[in-house]
Amino acid sequence: MAETKSHLTMTLIAVASAGALGLAYLAQYGFALWPCNLCWGQRVPYALAMVFALIATTPGVDGPTRRQVALLCAALFLFNAGFAFYHVGVEQKWWLGPEECVGRPMDFSTLDLAAALTQTGRTGCDEVAFSLFGISMAGYNVMAGLALCVGLMWAAAREAWWTRS
């Protein structure tokens, strides 16, 4: 029973992470919503959580180790929620974003300008590429990261799920 719940938790982490990455790539390639540098960074915790969770689903991994992976993934999701909140702040002009992201004046050559003109459409980190009900994709990522973190903390508190079989 414990083995089943810990395995299911790892599977759900992998599926949720893959779903978040899938939505990001669907927005990028399906709807031409090209990610900014901060958007790219928000994909990394999901990719890491997915890999860790998939490894933890292997038969040689015991319940206590899976619990540690769940806590690691919770930390990744919490970090991602904070990073996404930073991105929301940049979008809302609460604070400045990184220089390479918000289009502050920089030294460049005419070759750099020509290269920029041929790039596919990329948004600046301080621009909202898409919003639904007044919430940007970064805003939804804050909510998703917090929900996943809280859910995993709740699951980790269930001692019986992680005991050795």
Q: What percentage of the chain carries pLDDT values higher than 70?
A: 83
pLDDT attached to residue 32: 85
What is the CB neighbour count within 10 angstroms for residue 17? 25
The H or E element containing residue 2 is helix 2-25
- Please report, for the chain, the start and end positions of each structural domain, with discontinuous segments joined by +: 2-162
Classify domain 2-162 by CATH number.
Answer: 1.20.1550
Rounded Cα gap, residues 67 and 116, in angstroms: 46
By C-alpha distance, which of 78, 85, 84 is closest to 152?
78
What residues form DSSP beta bridges with 131?
Answer: 136
The H or E element containing residue 81 is helix 63-91
Q: Which residues of the chain have pLDDT under 50?
A: 104-105
pLDDT attached to residue 123: 66
Rounded Cα gap, residues 90 and 99, in angstroms: 11
